[in-house]
Amino acid sequence: MTQALTVRTISADAHLDFLRSRRSASFLQTPAWAAVKKEWRAESLGWFAADDPDTPVGAALVLNRTIPRSRRCLAYLPEGPVIDWSSTDLGDWLRPMTAHLKKQGAFLVRMGPPVVTRRWDAPTIKAGIADDDVRRLADLPPTVREQTGARVVAQLRELGWTPPPEGEGFAAGQPRYVFAVPLRAPDGSALDEDAVLKGMNQQWRRNIKKAAKNGVEVTAATAETLTAELDAFHDLYVHTAERDGFTPRPRSYFSTMFDALGAEDVDRIRLWSARHEGDLVASTIAVRVGGHAWYSYGASSTEKRDVRGSNAVQWAMIRDALEAGADVYDLRGITDTLDADDSHAGLIQFKVGTGGEAVEYAGEWELPLNRLIAKAFSLYMERR
């Protein structure tokens, strides 16, 4: 970008129109996500070039968390902003953004550049899991090192941005590592179902066939069945949380999520259910923005695990993404552990069977705009 850029507040409609012009953007950067995160004050931003002050060349959803009894706030851009991250001078994009946010009262800006730094394919990960000397993904040479990601990280450091302190307890942070199944060949052509199945390991293919043979039926909720299916999903999700040891979100969170994302685009969010002889054995939530499809939330029963409902529902979502012309099916977060004794290792072992790849993003970065308040905030978060 050779000309100066300006940043200003834009309407939700203008924000959404810009995202529709992009092949991919995180659902966390859609205007609808503001309605999901009601505890934050949201703002849509647009970047504009001097020669066309009415057409945005970038956009962002900013979530602001205000300090009680103060105008000061933390400005957070989850998996954003949506700008030209390949730029040789990111300062042209980031400086006007931080200047705008400072005027809005931000003492700290945190963002998650949607930029990949490294990738590991399934065979590499499998070899790492089998190697007793390998404990983490970082112990393995990546299959691909992304030059754009490396440039972004270097530029952010030069511009004064730093990764947040580890373990500070900022709950809104997004995963740095995800597992994704490419739905396009290296030449950009779309894959078909046979090609995706061929990429899966033998166990996954066998489980998909077994689910079908066992009579597992997978359906997507309709407008008429959504309320009842969400009730069933949430009951199973709470069961899953008790079994796996995590804190479940309330039923109202998912209602809000479906209302907000569904109102923005009828194909944005979908609830899938796998049943065996009438019993719900797995249920999942899928989200899609442009060419990027996500597996967002999932639940599974402890009983009847042998009918392979989880594999069946995942395959249904992958097929749906293929039919929609998506570029990638994203199974969201994983940890970077490959240690077989680690309780988190089972997650990556399940996902690696899809034949996809582990993807490392640049991670989250922050820039203090008022160092004194930012330091006090950091100390507060550490003590929570």
SS (H, E, C) 148-208: HHHHHHHHHHHCCCECCCCCCCCCCCCCCEEEEEECECCCCCECCHHHHHHHCCHHHHHHH
What is the rounded CA–CA span in Å between residue 61 and residue 77?
A: 6
> What's the pLDDT score for residue 1?
47
371 falls in which pLDDT band (50, 70, 90)?
A: confident
pLDDT value at 54 more than 50: yes
pLDDT over 80 (residue 336): yes
Q: What is the mean pLDDT of residues 51-75?
A: 93
At residue 257 the predicted structure's pLDDT band, cuts being 50, 70 and 90, is very high
Mean pLDDT of 273-283: 98
Q: Which two tokens stand for residue 37?
A: 């995160």
What is the rounded average pLDDT of the residues 279-291?
98
Percent of the chain with pLDDT strictly greater than 70: 96
Average pLDDT of the residues of the chain: 94
CB 302 within 8 A of CB 243: yes
- Report the alpha-carbon distance of residue 281 to residue 307 in Å, rounded: 8
Q: Looking at the predicted structure, is the pLDDT value of residue 3 above 70?
A: no
Domains of the chain (ranges plus CATH)? 5-112+364-383 (3.40.630.30), 118-146+177-361 (3.40.630.30)
CA neighbours within 13 Å on the CB side: how many for 319? 14
pLDDT at 380 over 70: no
Query: How far from 190 is each of 186, 357, 365, CA to CA, in Å?
Result: 10, 17, 34
With cut-offs at 50, 70 and 90, classify the pLDDT of residue 168.
very low
Question: What pLDDT was estimated at residue 171?
Answer: 45
